[in-house]
Amino acid sequence: MHAAHPDHLVVTAFTLADGVAWVERTLGVSLQNGGEHVRMGTHNALLRLGPDFYLEVIAVNPAAPKPDRPRWFGMDALHAGSPPRLAGWVVRTNNIAAAVAASPVDVGPVESMSRGTLNWLITIPADGRFPLDGVMPTLIEWHTPSHPAANLQESACTLHRLQGFHAQAVDIMRSLALIGLQDDILISAPAAGQAPYLRAEIHTPDGLRVLG
């Protein structure tokens, strides 16, 4: 059976500076520069949360041409008043085609992507948005000698717990089990009238902090 593991958290922001400032203020640690995603017209900054897990802040790169398709992670819907937020998460698999086929939730087609020397396959819905409001993860298959987090600076931060809240919680949990992910996130129904969201508890040098 194909294996699946949490890979990284995705914080979206209207500008990269806004997103970095929000995460640094919330967690009390510094992020490092990532790079550019030429095909998507975005750029990012990163925070290591373990040897094979990290946090990504991503925003539209104003210096890059607009792509000929919707940008990923719902970036095209952001505007100057959009606050940074924990918008989604990504799950790593060693067989992305099999994982996509096994998931009852449509996570979108598999696309080839790169950043600098990194190459990977990733699911991106045609409209560029996260599947099920970001509570259902994006899937990724790395084609790199080592996980990108291994090359990031040590941050002394680690993920304590990830929770998702969505009206289709049962469907999402079933999909996670079928793609090979076990016991890494608890998905629950939100309170009445509450929009879907993610919540990440992160151990930092200054104690437990929460994104979401």
> Which residue type sits at 145?
P
Residue 20 neighbours by CB distance under 10 Å: 23
Count of alpha carbons within 13 angstroms of residue 142, beta-carbon side: 19
* Tens digit of each residue's pLDDT (9 = 90 or more) over 66-90: 999 999 999 999 999 999 999 999 9
* Tens digit of each residue's pLDDT (9 = 90 or more) over 98-110: 999 999 999 999 9
d(CA 133, CA 68): 23
Give the pLDDT confidence score for residue 35 in this predicted structure: 94
CATH number at residue 76: 3.10.180.10
190 located within any domain: no
130 located within any domain: yes
Dihedral sign computed on CA atoms, order 99, 102, 104, 108: positive
Q: Which domain holds residue 134?
A: 4-155
209 located within any domain: no
Please name the residue ranges forming H helices in 91-191.
96-102, 169-178
Three-state SS at 132: helix
16 located within any domain: yes
* Tens digit of each residue's pLDDT (9 = 90 or more) over 135-176: 999 999 999 999 999 999 999 999 999 999 999 999 999 999
Mean pLDDT along residues 25-29? 97
d(CA 17, CA 136): 27
36 located within any domain: yes
142 located within any domain: yes
> Which residue type sits at 102?
A
Three-state SS at 161: strand
- Give the helix/strand (H/E) hosting 15: none
pLDDT at 1 over 70: no
> Which residue type sits at 63?
A
140 located within any domain: yes
d(CA 131, CA 81): 23
Max Cα–Cα distance, the chain, nearest Å: 46
Structural domain count, the chain: 1
d(CA 45, CA 57): 5
**What does pTM read for this prediction?**
0.96
Q: What share of the chain has pLDDT > 90, as a percent?
A: 94
161 located within any domain: no
